[in-house]
Amino acid sequence: MSAGPEPHEVSADDLRYLLAVARVGRLVAAAALLGVDHTTVRRRLDRLEAALGARLLDRGADGWQLTAIGRAIVERAAPLEGIVEQVVAAASGGDAVRGTVRVAAPEGFGSLFAAPALARVRAEHPGIALELVTSTRPLSLRGSGFDLAVTVGSPAGARVRAELLTEYALRLYAAPSYLAARQPIRALADLEGHDLVFYVDALLTVRELDLAAELEGMRLGFGSTNVFAQLEATRAGAGIGLLHAFMGEGAAGLEPVLPRAVDFRLPFMLSTRPDSPAVDAVAIVRDALRAEVAARRDELLPPR
């Protein structure tokens, strides 16, 4: 029976390369994060796998994915990067909290809520580098590529810790010119035959957003995967938009349509990757996001 690897045979610096690939899922992106070329990343990973005698990564459809052993190693090695950052901070006399935090969020929430929250974190903690990635899709099952993620609904199957961040409302809005050219809309039955502006049905991957069927009699007239395009199409008179209330309420060129009758409430969940290396920095960003939604609750959930 062969003995396992000795601690002195495993390079702590090679573990940092594994952490980087676990964070972004791709060798080229990890290389950019570390300031090296991708061949160096590959060489360091090969050396680490040889030293440990185990395969740590498999190539998947959306990048490199950790094996079961790889996940276990990353979870245990995650504090390493934070320790290195703290040592650098102590030596330089700078901000005690350092690290890179990547936040994934839907376009609307990311632009209007996450961005200002992250800007304040950056102003208060210059040692924290921040990355915001926006898209509306379920989390990857491998749960990497981010440190914090805001999603619509719970991240089914992803290896993350999830909590309710806030609920938000979706309501109907239309341009005054659109409404003036048609019969008054006073009840749900009056929506029949109207064009709906919403997501593209065939490309909708978030189950909670499958709401078009709830508006019987309406037909999807303009679909877009981008909420800002939905907003502008509604403002231009393409139809009645089922929009985030925090974008449509009080917006110039829009009027609410049946706000008491149509008011969908959906959850924004906040997920934390358990093996994120910048633990203290992640906690600061998490608190900033929670403070942002608490301070602007009326925008997310306007009175009925």
Angstrom distance (rounded) from CA 70 to CA 135: 27
For tokens 């491998």, the residue is 142
| Long-range contacts of the stretch 249-254 (C-beta < 8 A, 24+) | 249/171, 249/299, 249/302, 251/173, 253/175, 253/176, 254/173, 254/174, 254/175
Angstrom distance (rounded) from CA 276 to CA 85: 13
Angstrom distance (rounded) from CA 49 to CA 37: 19
Closest by alpha carbon to 197, among 169, 168, 224? 224
Residue 301 has what pLDDT?
A: 96
Residue 111 has what pLDDT?
A: 96
- What string of pLDDT tens digits covers the 304 residues of the chain? 455 666 667 788 888 888 888 877 788 888 887 888 889 989 999 998 888 888 988 887 667 888 888 888 887 777 776 666 666 666 655 557 888 899 999 999 999 999 999 999 999 999 899 999 998 766 554 555 788 999 998 776 556 788 999 999 999 999 999 999 999 999 999 999 999 999 998 878 788 888 988 998 899 999 999 999 999 999 999 999 999 999 999 999 999 999 999 999 999 999 988 777 678 899 999 999 999 999 999 999 998 8
Residue 90 has what pLDDT?
A: 62
Confidence (pTM) = 0.74
Give the list of residues 6+ apart from residue 236 with CB closer than 8 angstroms, or none: 175
> 3-state secondary structure string, the chain?
CCCCCCHHHCCHHHHHHHHHHHHHCCHHHHHHHHCCCHHHHHHHHHHHHHHHCCCCEEEECCEEEECHHHHHHHHHHHHHHHHHHHHHHHHHCCCCCCEEEEEEECHHHHHHHHHHHHHHHHHHCCCEEEEEEECCCCCCCCCCCCCEEEEECCCCCCCCEEEEEEEEEEEEEECHHHHHCCCCCCCHHHHCCCEEEECCHHHCCCHHHCCHHHCCCCEEEEECCCHHHHHHHHHCCCCEEEEEHHHHCCCCCCEEECCCCCCEEEEEEEEECCCCCCHHHHHHHHHHHHHHHHHCHHHHCCCC
Closest by alpha carbon to 261, among 216, 227, 226? 216
